[in-house]
Amino acid sequence: MKKKLPTPQKLPSGVWRCQVMVGGKRISVTDESPSVAQAKAVALRAGLIEEKKSGPSMTVGQTIDRYIESKDAVLSPSTIRGYRSIRENSLGNLEPLQLADLTQEAVQRHINALSRKNTPKYCRNVHGLLSAALAVYRPDFVLHTTLPQKVKTEIQIPTIEEVQLLSERARGTRFELPFLLATWMGLRTSEILGLTWDCIEGNELHVKQALVYGVNGSVLKSTKSYSGNRKIRIPPYIKELLSNHPQEDEYIIHAARNALYKQLQRLCEQSGLPHYRFHDLRHVQASVMLALGVPDKYAMERMGHASTNMLRNVYQHTMKSKSEEVADTVDHFFESKLHTDLHIK
C-alpha cells in the first residue's frame, strides 16, 4: 500500500513543516519551501537521509545557538552581542534541557531567580530571546510567563546653565567637538563615533552610519533606524572645529565610548555638577527644541526618531522644572478671583 504524502503546514515563523513517523517516533522536518519540506520528510521516512538534530530534539542551549546563527546577518551587531552574552551567562539550568522537555514552570522559576539579581529590563531581554527561539523551533509552545514589573527610569537632562559650564570646560579640548555634536546637533554616541569625513557634505552633516560594539569589536553599520539616516545643517562654529580637526584616517572622532563617558564625568566633577551620561547630552537637544516650540515632526527629523516617545519623555521631564511656576500662576488666579487671600490670617 502506497503511503500518503505528508502534508506541509505553514508555521507562524513562515517556514513549512512536515511530520512523519520513523521508528515509532513522530519527526518534524522544516524548510522555507513546502515542496522541499515534503521531499525531505519522504526521504527521511524511506531511510534515504538521517534525522538532523532540530526542533524539540535540541537542547535549549542548542536552540538559542541556532536561532542566533540564523539572525546574525540581519540583526545589529550589538544585538547579536547581547544575545550571545545571554546565551553564555543567563540560561542557567535551562541550558541542558531538551527543548521538548521545557515547561512553563521551568521558565517561570528561571525568570524568578534571574529577577533577584538583575534588572527587570534584563530579565525581559532574556525571556524575549527564549520566546523568539521557541516561536521558530517549538511554535506549539507559547510562553505565558509573569515577568518582573518594569521600573520607570527618570530621564536626566542637564540644564542649559549646566551645559554652559560644561561647554566652557570643554572649549579648546578634543572633547569639545563630540560634546557639541551631542548637545547642539543631537547625535547619538554611536553616530558620533561612526562619523567619517565623507559625511560632511558642504554645509550639511549626513548622519548615515553608526559605530557599535559587536562580538568581535567595533562594527560600522547603518543608523539605528530608517529615520536615523538624516542630514543636519552644520553651525558655523562646529564647521570651523571640523575644519581645524586633525584628519588621522577616515574617522572624525577617535575615542572609545567609555572614554567619552569618563571625560564627561571629569568635567562634571570639575564643575560641581551631578554625573551625567554622555547620552544625556543628546536629550538637551530635544529639551531645547521643545522649549522653543519646534513642532514634533521637525524635532523627530533632526534627532532621527521614528516616533514621539522620547520627545514625550523629555517633555514630561522639562515640565517638572516649571511645575512650581505653573502652581503659583494657578493659585494666584483662584486667590484673586475667589478672594481667598483676604481670609488668610
Mean pLDDT along residues 322-341:
74
Q: What is the pLDDT of residue 36?
A: 87
Same domain assignment for residues 180 and 246: yes
Tell me if 55 is assigned to some domain: no
pLDDT grade, residue 307 (50/70/90)?
confident
Number of structural domains the chain divides into: 3
Q: How far apart are CA 210 and CA 222, in angstroms?
A: 6
Q: What is the pLDDT of residue 309?
A: 74
- Identity of the residue numbered 220: L
Same domain assignment for residues 165 and 307: yes
pTM for this structure? 0.66
| Whether pLDDT at 238 is above 70 | yes
Cβ neighbours for 145, distance < 8 A, ≥ 6 positions apart: 104, 107, 108, 111, 127
8 Å CB contact between 289 and 282: no
pLDDT grade, residue 315 (50/70/90)?
low
Q: Which residue has better confidence, 264 or 336?
A: 264
Tell me if 315 is assigned to some domain: yes
Same domain assignment for residues 176 and 306: yes
Three-state SS annotation for 42-81: HHHHCCCCCCCCCHHHCEHHHHHHHHHHHHCCCCCHHHHH
Tell me if 164 is assigned to some domain: yes
Same domain assignment for residues 295 and 316: yes
Q: How far apart are CA 275 and CA 135, in angstroms?
A: 42
Element (H, E) at 214: strand 209-214
- CB atoms under 10 Å from CB of 91, counted, come to 20
Tell me if 337 is assigned to some domain: no
Tell me if 275 is assigned to some domain: yes
Same domain assignment for residues 65 and 41: no
> How is residue 168 written as a grid cell?
566652557
Q: Which domain holds residue 274?
A: 160-320
| Whether pLDDT at 344 is above 70 | no
Tell me if 74 is assigned to some domain: yes
Same domain assignment for residues 75 and 128: yes
Same domain assignment for residues 209 and 299: yes
Q: What is the pLDDT of residue 123?
A: 96
Q: What is the pLDDT of residue 321?
A: 56
Mean pLDDT of all residues belonging to the chain: 86
CATH code for the domain of 94: 1.10.150
Same domain assignment for residues 90 and 183: no
How does pLDDT run across 243-301, given as a tens digit for each residue? 999 999 999 999 999 999 999 999 999 999 999 999 999 988 888 888 788 888 888 88
Tell me if 111 is assigned to some domain: yes
Three-state SS annotation for 262-305: HHHHHHHHHHCCCCCCCCHHHHHHHHHHHHCCCCHHHHHHHHCC
pLDDT grade, residue 312 (50/70/90)?
confident
Q: How many CA atoms lie within 13 A of 226 on its CB side?
A: 2
| Whether pLDDT at 314 is above 70 | no
Angle at 248 between CA 245 and CA 250, to 5 degrees: 95
How does pLDDT run across 70-112, given as a tens digit for each residue? 888 888 888 999 999 999 999 999 999 999 889 999 999 999 9
CA distance to 97, 205, 244, 296, 303, per residue, from 186 (Å): 46, 12, 21, 15, 6
Same domain assignment for residues 122 and 251: no
For the ranges 183-197, 199-213, 296-310, the lowest mean pLDDT is seen at 296-310
Q: Which residue has better confidence, 203 or 214?
A: 203
How does pLDDT run across 38-78, given as a tens digit for each residue? 988 888 888 877 665 555 578 999 999 999 988 888 888 88
Tell me if 69 is assigned to some domain: yes
Q: What is the pLDDT of residue 320?
A: 55
Same domain assignment for residues 107 and 70: yes
Burial class (CB in 10 A: 0-12, 13-18, 19+), 345: exposed
| Whether pLDDT at 1 is above 80 | no
Same domain assignment for residues 207 and 311: yes
- CB atoms under 10 Å from CB of 71, counted, come to 15
Q: How far apart are CA 140 and CA 104, in angstroms?
A: 12
Same domain assignment for residues 240 and 276: yes
CATH code for the domain of 258: 1.10.443.10
